[in-house]
Structure formats: structure tokens, C-alpha cells
Chains A and B, each alone.
Chain A
């Protein structure tokens, strides 16, 4: 196990290094953006004096490297800093949206992950039958259409025509869990349709790849039924690729949902980020991007660890 801990620490260190570089890249990108936060905020009322006063107030008159170092210093001490524009602590600004984003992602993941694995197993089990082909065509179609298409179709069907679900996810603070689930059902369903295909196809493909291996033939020659073959003999060996693709899709559920947020007016992180880029609110963009990157890296780390744990070759070395 010593080796696993070493590996974990190594990966974690690499992840932190990546994060550091990400923060530099984002910072430089924002530096390169035309116009700055002062001009964006003041707009037409940007007289030279106003601009100068505003910049002084925000510390924008400092050279770039010292601003970056100051931000980094604060960040390392757990101080996310304040929004440049509103002066609100960033944590206050994003905490609720972050929660919303994770809620929606979690909701969609709860539906899609078991569904995808189940469909993948079923498709592998009944490989080359009509059932398998139907699942394949259906998921392929779902993965191929743009997200907004799925979103609008669901709005049209469930909100406009049937009136079953609201077309916008108007959440209130004191909403009960069931109300929340009801109001976020359409966005969650949209996301589910989009991510399920990828995971299902990977599950099916990894299982079928394994079916050609000698130990699966051996199991068959030992008299295992098709179902036992796939579920007991093949699935444990397919955990690594399946978990990897699940991790990618979970990360996508969290960072890649801007379009779904727009369609359903869902108050998540995506819209905030788009706004903040437009407003040049460097601290918000920086922090949110880092959170997203960290999420991505953590998911990958977790999937690596699960892959290792699922593989006796790596878990128990000779």
C-alpha cells in the first residue's frame, strides 16, 4: 500500500502544479482581454478621472505580476478574495451557484450513471441483436444532437405542450427537495440524455473487448452462462475504462453545462463565468476556473485510484 500512497501524493502534486499553471494561463488571458473591469463597469460614464479613481480603488494600477502574486497569496491562505466589480467576497458570490451546479450535476449523474452502465451491460449481453442495435442507435442519436436541441425539445414537449414541468428552473431558497427536483427535472433530463450515450458506449465497448480475451473463453469453457460471463467475469475487469469515462462525464456535467443553464435559466456557475469574462472580473473568473480545473483533476485522480483499486495487478504487486 505504500506504493499507492506514494502514487497518490505524486498525482496530487502534479495536479497542484497543473492548477498553478492553469491560474497563470487564465491570468495572462484576462490580461490580454481588450478593455478592463473599470471600463466595463463605468461604461459610458468612464471619464479619465473616474477610470483612474476606480482603478486605484481596485488596485488595478499595480503592475500585473504584483497583482497576481497578491491574489495567489490570498488564495493560498484560503482567502478567495472579492469580486472586482461588486466587492462581494467571491465565496458569497459563488457558493450558492456552486451548490446549484453540483446539485444539477448530481441529479443528472444519479440518473445517468446507473442507466448507462445498465444499458451498456444489456447491450453487451445481447450483442448484435435488435435490442443492442436499438440501444446503439438511440444513444448515438442522443450524443449527436446539440444540447440546446435536446433542451428545447424537452421544453416544447413537457412545458409548452404538456405543461408537466416548468420551462425555467426558478428556484426559491426555501424550496423542498421534491420541489427542487421537480423544477430541475428538465435540465437534469437534458444532461442525462447527453452524457448517458458516451458512458454506455464505453461500457459496452470495454465489455466486448474483454470478451475476446482467453480468460473469458476459459470461463465459458468452465460452463458460465452469458450473463455470468459478462457481469461476474468481464465487468470487474472493465471497471477502469468505465470509471475513466464516468469521471470525464461527471466533470463535463459540472463544467460544461453553460448551454443548458441558458436554455433553462438555471442559476449555476456557467452563466456566472460567462458574465464575469464579459465584465473582466478577473478574480471571479480566476477562482471559478481554478475550482473547475480542480474538480476535473480530482475526478481524474479519483478515477485513477478506483482503477488501481479495481486492478489486483496494481493493487497487490508481486
Chain B
């Protein structure tokens, strides 16, 4: 676990030692871990979400919907605070060939309305995201599922069209919350679930009030009596409210005020390494990017350390032109890190038969905070390499329809995925292969890894794929960004804090407690 400003364990997230020193905050000895305590009201503010948000998990996106969804409901599997896959409503799962998966459901779990959990509910909940008519945002994740069948009330059998060893990970996605089927056979989307809280009031874009479910099946979880989730999109207002004690936690803290916020003894800042990363994607099928030397020149032309320092204020880690973050399984730390090297960039340009290169890179500030700054810095870095990088600022509205995958060189951003296969399958093959990347070997490895159940062999395969993307891929990936958020000191959490999303993997409501 990493906690900003405290002793850090060395290992795959050891990079953080550097960034903490950079900010110049003193390292406070970690206090002895307290035990979870029941009671209190937890008021937290999130910045993502709007008035039109619904409780339908097929439409879920953004902190408001996800956090409320997970307070009300559970998935079959979850990513634990230790970033490992854990059973949730499923007790266990098994597969011989990674094609047929049998999930055994937890017994004695009831929904808020008293209905016991059965395989029927699971199937109906997951079918929400399948089929022609589904408009679910997670439709593609279940595209490989051929059938879902019940084996009695306690078991669900998934048959996939092709093997996928990561299938249990997929089911931990926030879309796949389990809801009860009503008497009329319709899925209950009103907020009834098996989760640690029941819905008191739901005013999207304003405030959601949750009450603890006294019959929650999970041990030591759902500690607060009441939870108020506020939507505050103005970070200044949120910060003020946190400092004046009107709220207990904020979804994201602005880098610029961290220094000042850190001086407040009542406030604790968390900086958790995550998988969010921007990409500078080149259309590899078009000149000049069709020549891998040009792609390499652009990869050597960026000073990643400088970007982490200046754009992320140290709250992040340098990336290596592949999307597998240090917090993800199968990340290979032994792969050599690409460094800023204008000479090498020049060399590759020469190899491509060019003296200099002039390209324009599209970017919009709506992608992530500091996106334009990052590209502007990149432009400066690339000058010594003989690359004239023009910064093209695009409007935020319509960026994804008019710029993304339409321009030949553009900035994009990707959220965290629990396993490498998901990001590979989404962003490096298929419809959203934003850099038009094509490699036979990569494709073969990706498919083979899905059916490989031997962990060591799989690790090697994913390592090879990371190398391929690093050396041949069409995307420059400069860094992975940390989740930076803050809480009042009297709100506490366990030793580990999940890295898949902000606020303890969006499960702070269930995992944290008030001292």
C-alpha cells in the first residue's frame, strides 16, 4: 500500500519514494492501525457526475454513479484493498479451459427487500449488458460470452466463445452489479441490492443519502450509520468545505493546493498510484508514422521525468510506452525504461531518411488536467531532436467524435483496467485501436495468454507484449497518474488502499470508518 507522506514499502510502487521527497513533505511515521469502528456520518464529495445520472449500472460512469452503485450492490468479484481479485457474491469459481467458467454463489445473502440471492438474479443482471438492444457501456466486455446458464439456484455457468483467463476480473467491473429480479420478472433498477447501504434519497448532481444495511453480509464493512455523497464540481468549493469540516473526504485534490492542504493537521492527503494514463497516439498506418523509426524518434523525444514532475507535481510514475501500470498484475519491472534521448531520436529520424520532422499533435484540456501543458512541454523537449511538434488545441466538445482517431496524431486518455488483456483488447486491437497498431505476434500472444492458466507462462507472455508495444507500438505513453485525494484525519481506513480507482477503489463508503 502507498500512502502519501508515510513510510513506503519498496517494490513495484517504490517510485513513490522519489515523488514524495520532491514535494518536500515530511514523512510521518505511520500510526498504529486502528480497528474499524461502527457509527457516524460520512460526508464525501465527488466531482464527477451530473443531474441526469441514473442508478442503472448499464449507464454508470463517473464517481457518483459508481460509488452509489457499489454502496447499494455487490458484484460477483471485486478488487480488494490489496489490489487482488477477491470473491464477493461469488464464493468461488473454476475453469479447466478458460472457456467454461463455473461460479458458485455465496449462500444466505439477501437483497434489501428480503429476497434471497439466486442465480436467476445474477443472470438477469448480467444480461442487461448483452444482446443487440443493449446500450450498456460494458456491452463489449461481455461480447465474448456465448451463454450464461443457471446450475440450480447456487451456480452460474458462463460459456465463452474463446478462452479468457481474466474472465473473473472482468466481472469485477463496476457495470456488473447484481440486482434482484422482481416478481414480474423485471430487473429492479431502483437501487435495491445486497450492498452495505440502503438508499435514503437519491438526488443526482446534488446529494445522495445512504443508511447502513444492518443485515450486511460482509464482515467489518459498511461502518458508517449514514453516508452523504455530495456532488461538488468546483474544486475550490470542495477544498473549502473539507477544510472547514463540512465534508469528510474529497474525490480529488488539486495538485496546486496540496502544499497548503498538507499543512492542515485535520486533513490527510492520499496519493495512490493508478493506471490512468494519457497516450499520444500516431496513426501507424499513415506516413510518416508508418515508419517505426519515426515512432521511435517521437518516443525518445519526450522527457517523461519532467512531465511527471511538472504536470503531475510528482504524483505519478513514468511510463514505458505500454499501458500496463505498475499497479496492475503482470507489470514487468525488469523491462528497460526508455529515457529522454534527443540524440537517439535524431538517429531514428535519420534512419527514416529525414533531417527533421514537423507534425501537429491535437490535444484538449478536457482530456485530463494539464493535458495542454503536457503537450506544450513535449513540444519543448522535442526541439533538440529536430522535431517540430505543433500544438493543436481542440475544443473539448466533440473531441471524441471529431478528433480522436480522426486526426493522424492526437492525445487520448485511458482509465485504469484491472488486467493487461482488457486494455490490450480495447485500445490496441479492434474498433478502438487508436494507433492503428498491427502486429501478428502481439495478436497471437494476446489470444494465447487468454487460455493460458499457468501464471508464470502468462507473466512471460504479457512481458513480451509489453516489450512489443514499447518498441513497435504507435502510442507514446508518458506517465501513469496517481489518484490524489484527501480526507479529514478522523476518517480512517485499513492498511491497504485499492489503486483501481480514487477513494479506495471507489469503495471508501464500505471500507472506511470514523475514529
Interfacial residues, chain A to chain B (CB-CB below 8 A): 33-35, 39, 41-47, 50, 53-54, 57, 83, 85-88, 93, 96-97, 155, 159-160, 163, 166-168, 170-173, 262-265, 267, 271-272, 275-276, 278-279, 281, 284
Contacts and interface: CB of A to CB of B under 8 A. Distances in A.
A168 B134 CA distance: 39
B72 interface: no
B402 interface: yes
Nearest to B62: A43
Contacts of A33: 397
Nearest to A173: B201
B234 A44 contact: no
B135 A275 contact: no
A91 to B, nearest CB: 13
Secondary structure class of chain A's binding surface, majority of residues: helix
A176 B146 CA distance: 55
Nearest to B431: A47
A88 B246 contact: no
A40 to B, nearest CB: 9
Interface stretch (B46-54, B101-109, B274-282): B46-54
Nearest to B234: A262
Interface residues of B, number: 44
B120 interface: no
Contacts of B43: 170
B52 A166 contact: no
Nearest to A165: B244
Nearest to A271: B205
Contact of B237 (A39, A57, A163, A264): A264
A253 to B, nearest CB: 20
B48 to A, nearest CB: 12
B137 interface: yes
A44 B62 CA distance: 13
Contacts of A57: 135
B161 interface: no
A41 B59 contact: yes
A34 B395 contact: yes
For B53, B54, B400, the residue with the greatest tally of chain A CB atoms inside 10 Å of its CB is B400
Nearest to A50: B135
Given A50-B139, A86-B204, A168 B241 contact: yes
Nearest to A85: B52
21 contacts: A33-B397, A34-B397, A35-B402, A39-B398, A44-B432, A46-B401, A53-B132, A97-B206, A160-B244, A167-B244, A170-B207, A173-B201, A173-B209, A262-B234, A263-B234, A265-B232, A265-B241, A267-B206, A267-B207, A272-B51, A276-B52
Contacts of B232: 168, 265
Contacts of A171: 207
B137 A45 contact: yes
Contacts of A46: 400-401
Query: Top 3 nearest A-B pairs by Cβ distance?
Result: A85-B52, A267-B206, A34-B398
Contacts of B240: 155, 159-160, 167-168
A70 to B, nearest CB: 20
B137 A86 contact: no
A285 to B, nearest CB: 11
A96 B244 contact: no
A34 B364 CA distance: 15
A279 B61 CA distance: 14
A155 B239 CA distance: 12
Given A45-B137, A168-B240, A265-B234, 12 more contacts: A35-B402, A44-B432, A45-B138, A50-B135, A87-B54, A93-B51, A160-B244, A173-B209, A262-B237, A265-B238, A279-B52, A284-B52
Nearest to B138: A45
Contacts of B230: 168, 170, 265
Interface string B113-157: 000000000000000000011110111100000000000000000
For A54, A86, A171, A272, the residue with the greatest tally of chain B CB atoms inside 10 Å of its CB is A86
A262 B235 CA distance: 10
B315 to A, nearest CB: 24
A42 B241 CA distance: 32
B203 interface: yes
A254 to B, nearest CB: 18
Interface in B84-114: none
Interface string B50-77: 1111100001010000000000000000
Contact of B398 (A35, A85, A170, A272): A35
B54 A34 contact: no
A8 to B, nearest CB: 36
B423 interface: no
Contacts of B50: 275, 278-279
Contacts of A88: 52, 54
Contacts of B134: 53
Contact of A34 (B139, B402, B432): B402
Given A168-B232, A265-B234, A86 B52 contact: yes
B243 interface: yes
Contacts of A263: 234, 237
Contact of A167 (B137, B205, B241): B241
B54 A39 contact: no
Given A45-B140, A172-B209, A159 B431 contact: no
Interface in B362-408: 395, 397-398, 400-402
Contacts of B237: 167-168, 262-265
Nearest to B412: A44
A35 B381 CA distance: 34
Interface string B206-237: 11010000000000000000001010111001
A275 B400 contact: no
Nearest to B427: A44
Contacts of B228: 170
Contact of A39 (B52, B238, B401): B401
Contacts of A53: 132-135
A166 to B, nearest CB: 5
A54 to B, nearest CB: 5
Nearest to B240: A167
Contacts of B132: 53
A167 B236 CA distance: 11
